[in-house]
Amino acid sequence: MLIGYRYFAHTQAAKAVNGLIYAEDSDAAYAKLKRAGLRVSRVRIDVAGTINGLGGKFDVRELVRFYRTMGKRLEVGKPLISGMEAAISFTTDPMLVNALRLMQQRLIDGAKIADAMQSAGFPERDLNVIRAADAAGKQGQAFVRLADDVARAERLRSAIHSTFLPMKVLAVVGLVGIYAAMGWLSPTMIHFFAQWSGGNAPHLPPPIVLYNELALWVTGHKVIAGVLLAGMIVAGDAMIKSRFVREMADYWDNWRMISEKSDHSSAWTSFSLLYDAGGISAYESAAVVRKGCARLDSQDMFHRMDKILRLGVPISVAVERAGFPAYVVNGVKSAEEGGASLAEGLLGMVTDLEQDVEVMTDILKIKITYLSQLFGGLIVSGFFYVTLYPMYVQIGQKL
């Protein structure tokens, strides 16, 4: 979790400045400000700033807008620093606003764009792309391509997230419904039928007896039960995001291909951006890309590719030896053999991967819809079993 710190400092020109910075702790905040070229007087925790920055990441739409705006300015020959104040004024994300202020200060002090971005906490891949593009004079084009890639990656992430959203919502609604039934509905019914039957306990199946006992406990400990319910929801969300569940999910072929191809789509976009910038070698590009891979197998592939490329072999040979999937190997070979530049060819491969992910995601959505309907039916059936079925049993015994 990142904490918001209000800082008070002086620039290299002895100008007093203050603002908000996000860091893991106060020492990390001091280190970031020092990298930004500021002489720090003091920092203190800002509660409101911490709450605003709970997401821990820049707002993607705001970041895309900033990259695209700055790229277009640089492409027409306008200096970046003159557009920073305007960029800050139209940005609503508090984390990005404060990053831009730090970046602006570093630019005023004479730092290069990539160094200013590093001080402000921008993603390592992005600042490496800009640093590599600096030597080739392609910073404007690099910013525009970064904007396109960040937007593309967000589209894929949103599509995958929306696929599983109905199941998550259904699970939460089901748990809350069970809590409400146990805490209010079931105890009332148990009390009513106990009076109606004159205290004669009906013969109910063991699962319903256990449910009734648990319902009576929840009724007497609603706060504790509510805390346990919230803990179950948080623990369930953490379990879904855990490495173990991700590895188990790979046994589902449809999901594994979506996860694998979306990861390679993002990774090879980064590689093409770095390689095309001209100021960084292929093996250095592979080393940088490796750090941003979401899957462990992708990280291992780029690590092996880095080592193999250092031997001086062509990229297509390194990719094949590193154990990349056949669709990546074929795509890289086509990019090398095509008439356009390697970077353009790789972006063509990435477009194909993105289209594959979109098609597979649509197929997965259909399957998830069926599973959601089945899951919802089980929840409703279980609800009637533990609430209405005992009522019918007791009415039958009474008659």
> What are the tens digits of pLDDT across the range 252-298?
888 888 889 988 988 888 888 788 766 678 888 898 888 888 888 99
Given a cut of 80, is residue 359 above it in pLDDT?
yes
Closest alpha carbon to 22 in 42, 6, 8: 6
Query: Does the pTM exceed 0.75?
Result: no
Using pLDDT thresholds of 50, 70 and 90, give the confidence band for residue 194. Answer: low
Q: How far apart are the C-alpha atoms of 86 and 178, rounded to whole Å?
A: 51
**How does residue 373 score in pLDDT terms, banded at 50, 70 and 90?**
confident
pLDDT of residue 249: 80
**Is the CB of residue 166 less than 8 Å from the CB of residue 367?**
no
pLDDT at 278: 64
Which residues does residue 7 pair with via DSSP β-bridges, in sequence order? Answer: 19, 43
pLDDT digits over 18-65, tens only? Answer: 777 777 777 777 777 777 677 878 878 877 666 665 556 788 899 999
Q: HEC string of the chain?
A: CCEEEEEEEECCCCCEEEEEEEECCHHHHHHHHHHCCCEEEEEEECHHHHHHCCCCCCCHHHHHHHHHHHHHHHHCCCCCHHHHHHHHHHCCCHHHHHHHHHHHHHHHCCCCHHHHHHHHCCCHHHHHHHHHHHHHCCHHHHHHHHHHHHHHHHHHHHHHHHHHHHHHHHHHHHHHHHHHHHHHHHHHHHHHHHHHCCCCCCCCCHHHHHHHHHHHHHHHCHHHHHHHHHHHHHHHHHHHCCHHHHHHHCCCHHHHHHHHHHHHHHHHHHHHHHHHHCCCCHHHHHHHHHHHCCCHHHHHHHHHHHHHHCCCCCHHHHHHHCCCCHHHHHHHHHHHHCCCCHHHHHHHHHHHHHHHHHHHHHHHHHHHHHHHHHHHHHHHHHHHHHHHHHHHHHHHHHC
pLDDT the model gives residue 324: 94
Write out pLDDT tens, residues 217-227. Answer: 888 888 898 89
Give the whole-angstrom CA distance, residue 310 versus residue 122.
Answer: 28
Domain map (residue ranges) of the chain: 3-122, 123-399
Residue 201, pLDDT above cutoff 80: no
Q: Does pLDDT of 300 surpass 90?
A: yes
Q: 154-188 as b/e, with b when 16 or more CB fall inside 10 Å?
A: eebeebbeebeebbeebbeebbeebbebbbeebbe
